[in-house]
Amino acid sequence: VFLWPSGDSNGATSCYINGKWLDAHYDPVANLYTFSSCIVLADLHGDGENKLVVGDLGTGSSNMKLKVYRGTGLMSENTLLDLPTGLVSFLMDQHEPRTPAIAVASGPYIYVYKNLRPYFKFTLPPLEVNALEQDVWNQAREDMIDPLSLKEMLDSIRDKADVPLSVRSLRFLMLDPQDMEAFVNLYKEQPIRRQTVITCISTLKKNMADEDAVSCLVIGTESKDVYILDPEAFTVLTKMSLPSAPTQMDVTGQFDVEFRITVACRNGNIYVLRRYGDQSPKPKYCIELSSHPVGLVRIGKNVVVGCAQETLQGFTQKGKKLWTVCLPAPVTTMSVMDLPTRGFQAVLVGLANSEVHLYRDKNLISTIKTPDIVTSICFGRYGREDGTLIMTTKGGGLIVKILKRTAVFDDRDSAPGPPLAQSIRLNVPKKTKLYVDQTMRERENSVAMHRAFQMDLSRLRLAAARAYVKALESSLTPMSSSLSEPLRMNAVVQGLGPSFKLTLNIQNTAVCRPVMNLAISFLYDESLYSMKTAFFKVTIPLLVPGLNYPIDTFVECLSDKGISDIIKVFVLREGKSAPLLTAHINMPVSEGLALN
């Protein structure tokens, strides 16, 4: 069991339980300034106990160091000559003991450490020098042109040439006229070199997928190239080109079998490089994003990208978008949470609101509050504990949490939003030949079909309008269209037969105007039904607005054949021939006669 001391001299707090995580260690003054690309967990001594290796950025211009932590204490540190841009651990050979080396990318160099001691320094191959630039400096070396002419010629070359100028020429163009001659005299005898720098670094298994297999180094450069290096001789095995400079990288597969390199570039796109064989070493797929990527991880066969517009997006490895999640704050860092013993994989997303969200696909399954903004995240085996989460903060703090062995993550999304079932893809059947034929017919006859649809729609609207006008003119509706007598009526039939009780509910819908002197008339088949009074005046002479007035009458069914008919009800006004409103009552079958 990986135990932590409580209340140590470095400011560590005691271990206590917080939901699914144990707060093992927090040192707010650890003075660690790094990113997720410069932090790794590795078994440096082959004793089964992983150490934390950090490339510390220091102040940005000085005090850059390679630090190694064991538990909560600093185990060793080495001074770095330049700012680290990436750090990985990898196995170089099959020799025993199987201890990994540490590769630190810094500027145009890769510094390889083995057993925490400098082992090898790799330098990126120089780039092609502009031929016109070389010729101009040769003329300056032979004193054929003065510094001002040299400046004018370099300016014209910079504006038109496809190959960029070297650092020497760019520095020369920045000088004041009085300093140009001294600069030319100092550097004109030296050869021109054009060197690129490393922007990102990762590892790729050589020929086996085992955990302790030999790995190649994969590096992305500012010159828009990706190099794969041999782990023993440090020679370039493969060089691939990109449309833009890479910033982040995720690698999977084996170099000798099949591999995929997913690269986020500075132009806001994501490219997928594959083992190309005899084909051109160009990107196989391209994912165009609406904003620049700030985080890139791979979960299974899918790629999860954190974007600058506060979104988290999921894509297939061929570039098809699967889902998008809106985040409450900008993304600061991302990492993978992989627990092989539980078969669990998720994405850890550090946000600028001092929170770390844990996503499985598009579902938010856990949220971790932190005392400061998290700048780097690393999850894995630390010491002898498998589920350890290590974070560094913007203020230089170090946070260590341990996942409880009893912790269970639900697949249900804890964030408000649509239900989980909405994200399940429908099982859409394959396109049949009939579907394809119908689609082709609709494409070829689209104009005629649209015109026929518009004609049928116009006829339907005309028929509906005519029926509505006819209903208004003949007062066939249960609501009055008259502004002076706005009435509403509904009818209720009660009874099994042969006697039915018919209740009419009449309501005055006017705001403040009463209705008076109304009469009700019934129209029915006299061979089927009989009523004592088929015409009578409303017993209430005054209908107050808003009140419901029930009027009861009785209907006698005369037929014993088990048939029914419609009784029409008319509400009339004295002095008017047209009814105010009409209701059609569908009478039920008389069950009493059927029983007799």
User: Each residue of 370-403: pLDDT tens digit?
Assistant: 999 999 999 988 888 888 999 999 988 999 999 8
Please name which of 74, 64, 58, 45 lies closest in space to residue 104, comparing C-alpha atoms.
64
* Distance separating alpha carbons of residues 427 and 436, to the nearest angstrom: 19
Q: Both 79 and 167 in a single domain?
A: no
What is the rounded distance in angstroms from the CA atom of residue 472 to the CA atom of residue 109?
A: 89
CA-wise closest residue to 102 among 217, 187, 244, 194: 217
Taking the CA atoms of residue 538, residue 543, residue 549 and residue 551 in that order, the dihedral angle to the nearest 10 degrees is 0
Look at residue 13 in the predicted model and tell me its pLDDT. 37
Same structural domain for residues 101 and 145? no
The pLDDT of residue 511 is above 60? yes
Q: Span 456-478, mean pLDDT? A: 81
Torsion angle (degrees, nearest 10) of CA 422, 423, 427, 428: 90
* 319 pLDDT tier (thresholds 50, 70, 90): confident
Instruction: Please check whether residues 565 and 501 belong to one and the same domain.
Output: yes
Q: Which of 10-24, 109-123, 258-272 has the lowest mean pLDDT?
A: 10-24
238 Cβ neighbours under 8 A, 6+ residues apart:
227, 228, 255, 281
Do 515 and 539 lie in one domain? The reply is yes
Helix (H) or strand (E) holding 468: helix 446-473
Average pLDDT over residues 204-215: 85
506: pLDDT confidence band, cut at 50, 70 and 90?
confident
pLDDT score for 474: 64
pTM: 0.64
Main-chain dihedrals φ then ψ at residue 178, nearest 5 degrees: -70, -15
**Which residues, in sequence order, are bridge partners of residue 286?**
271
Burial class from Cβ neighbours inside 10 Å (0-12, 13-18, 19+) for residue 28 reads middle
pLDDT score at 341: 81
Q: Same structural domain for residues 152 and 117?
A: no
Specify whether the CB–CB gap between 360 and 409 falls below 8 A.
yes
Q: Tell me the range of 174-183, 208-217, 438-447, 556-565 where mean pLDDT is highest.
A: 438-447
Q: Is the pLDDT of residue 529 over 70?
A: yes
CA distance 8 to 26: 10
Quick check: 339 and 324 in contact, CB under 8 A? no
Average pLDDT rounded to a whole number, residues 549-558: 86
pLDDT at position 165: 79
Q: How far apart are CA 308 and CA 292, in angstroms?
A: 6
In a domain, 591, yes or no: yes
99 and 143 assigned to the same domain = no
Q: Is residue 316 part of a domain?
A: no
Indicate if 18 and 49 belong to the same structural domain. no
Claim to verify: residue 42 and residue 14 sit in the same structural domain? no
443: DSSP letter: H
Stretch 13-39: mean pLDDT: 77
Q: What is the pLDDT of residue 418?
A: 63
Quick check: 42 pLDDT over 70? Answer: yes
How would you list the strands of the sheet with 566-573, edge to edge?
A: 535-537, 518-523, 566-573, 581-586
Determine, yes or no, domain membership for 282.
no
Residues 6 or more apart in contact with residue 88 via CB below 8 angstroms: 40, 102, 103, 201, 202, 203, 217
pLDDT of the residue at 538: 61
Dump pLDDT digits (tens) for 321-347: 888 888 899 999 999 998 888 888 899
Q: Computed from CA positions of residues 313, 316, 320, 322, in that sequence, does the dihedral angle turn out positive or negative? A: negative
Q: Are residues 335 and 351 in the same domain?
A: yes
pLDDT band at 284 (very low <50, low <70, confident <90, very high): confident
- Residues 42, 21 within the same domain: no
Average pLDDT, the chain: 83
Are residues 569 and 494 both part of a single domain? yes
279 vs 318 pLDDT, higher one: 318
What is the rounded average pLDDT of the residues 81-89? 89
SS3 217: strand
The pLDDT, as a whole number, for residue 595 is: 45
Given a contact cutoff of 8 angstroms between Cβ atoms, the answer to whether 216 and 228 are in contact is yes
Q: What average pLDDT score do residues 513-540 get?
A: 79
Residue 527 lies in a domain: yes
| Beta strand spans in 139-277 (E) | 198-205, 215-221, 225-229, 236-241, 246-254, 258-265, 269-274
> Does residue 367 belong to any structural domain of this protein?
yes
User: 388 lies in a domain?
Assistant: yes
Same domain, 497 and 589: yes
Task: Choose the final residue of a domain: 89, 123, 157.
Answer: 123
pLDDT digits (tens, 9 = 90+) for 536-548: 666 556 778 878 8
Q: Taking Cα atoms as reference points, which of 519, 487, 485, 521 lies closest to residue 505? A: 487
Residue 447 in tokens: 């104009």
How many domains does the chain divide into?
4
Q: What is the domain extent for residue 516? A: 487-595
Residues with Cβ within 8 Å of 468's Cβ and at least 6 positions away in sequence, in order, are none
Last residue of a domain, one of 169, 187, 205: 187
Other beta carbons within 10 Å of 125: 13
Residue found by looking up tokens 């145009």 in the block:
108
**pLDDT value at 1 more than 90:** no
Structure tokens at 40: 């790794």
What residues contact 506, with CB distance under 8 A and at least 6 apart?
A: 487, 488, 489, 518, 538, 543, 548, 549, 551, 571
Please check whether residue 54 is in contact with residue 69, taking contact to mean a CB–CB distance below 8 angstroms. yes
Q: Are 545 and 509 in contact (CB under 8 A)?
A: yes
Rounded alpha-carbon distances, angstroms, from residue 40 to 43, 132, 151, 167, 233:
10, 45, 46, 33, 24
Q: Is residue 162 part of a domain?
A: yes
Last residue of a domain, one of 123, 144, 167: 123
- pLDDT above 80: residue 417: no
At residue 274, the pLDDT reads 82
Residue 476 lies in a domain: no
- Dihedral angle of Cα 275, 264, 415, 358, to the nearest 10 degrees: 70
